[in-house]
Each structure stands twice: as structure tokens, then as C-alpha cells.
Amino acid sequence: MAGNEPAPPAIVCDAGPLIHLEEVGCVELLTDFPQVLVPSAVWDEVAKHRPSAFMHNTVRFQKVTPDKALSAELDVMSRLLALHRGEREALQVAQGHPGCLLLTDDTGARLAARNLGLEAHGTIGVLLRAIRRKQKTKDEVVKLLRSLPTASTLHVRPGLLENIIREVEQSP
């Protein structure tokens, strides 16, 4: 672990970050999380579209099934934001694991997470974290960020991506 940074929390994954990290060869960046909880609907989606994402034996993937019904808040937000089954399950599992981190690239799921008091980050956040955790150099992360539009199916506005790259390049 780098510096005096606290131990990382357990994470709950939506399909997007697992697929996108695999597309750019970076699933191993999840290695230092003590648990990587993958709801069953998300597991099925990733296994269908990018099964190699689960082949990283250094990542502690744990397939989980939500153990209770959707909360009233999550049920309403799921309908309002048109969340898919995997996103709903990821939010549901995250609600049952206080202090966890939700990984999702879906805007609606991130909005729901914020309204539920859950911390959410996405693929780009995992890549940026890799610099701080000394898993990747700044130059390696810039190269990965530049590759996202062609190497992955992650949809990110070009202007936003350029701003992120510029900030990384200008950081100490």
C-alpha cells in the first residue's frame, strides 16, 4: 500500500468498469481491494460480453446475489432513471455494504448512488487511482486514457477526456 493511505474499501461493480478495464488490459488495478463484489446480473453480463475479465486470479471476485428487496428509494430511482437489472443489483448490493465503493460508468446509476449516499467512481477513476497507488506511472495512465476511445467501449465526451488528460499531465 502506498504511503499512509487508508486500506481500500470493498467495491461493488457494475458491468461497465469491469468490461472497460479488461478492454484496456487493466483489471489487475482492482487487485488491492479486499473484496470485489459482483452482483449476479452483472456477472452474467460481463461473462457474456467479456468473460476474460474474470480470469485475473489476483482480483478477489465474489459473485453475490442481493439478499433483500429493493429499498423504496432505489425502486423509485430505478424507474425514474431507467436503470437496468445489473445497475439495480449493484446499487442494492452497495446499500447492503456500508462504506463500500460502487464502480459504475452509468450516469443514471451514479446519480442514484449519490442520492442514496453511496460513493461511486468509474473506469477513469480507477485509472487515476492507479497513479496515487503507484500501480501505474503518470505516463502509463495518460497513454491508457488516450487509448480509451479506440481500445474500449467506454463513452466519454472528447472534451472531458482531454481535460482529464491535461490535468494528469500537469499534476506533480
Specify the CATH number for 11-124; select among 3.40.50.1010, 2.60.260.20, 3.90.76.10, 3.10.20.600. Answer: 3.40.50.1010
Q: Are 15 and 45 in contact (CB under 8 A)?
A: yes
Torsions phi, psi of 152, nearest 5?
-135, 170
Provide the 10 A C-beta neighbour count for residue 103.
Answer: 29
Residue 15 has a pLDDT of 98
Per-residue pLDDT in tens (0 to 9) along the chain, 172 residues: 445 666 678 999 999 999 999 999 999 999 999 999 999 999 999 999 999 999 988 999 999 999 778 889 999 999 999 999 999 999 999 999 989 999 999 999 999 999 999 999 999 999 999 999 999 999 999 999 999 999 999 999 999 999 999 999 999 8
The H or E element containing residue 62 is: strand 61-64
The H or E element containing residue 163 is: helix 158-170
Q: Give the domain ranges of the chain.
A: 11-124, 137-170
Residue 2 has a pLDDT of 46
Nearest to 164 by CA among 133, 142, 135, 131: 142
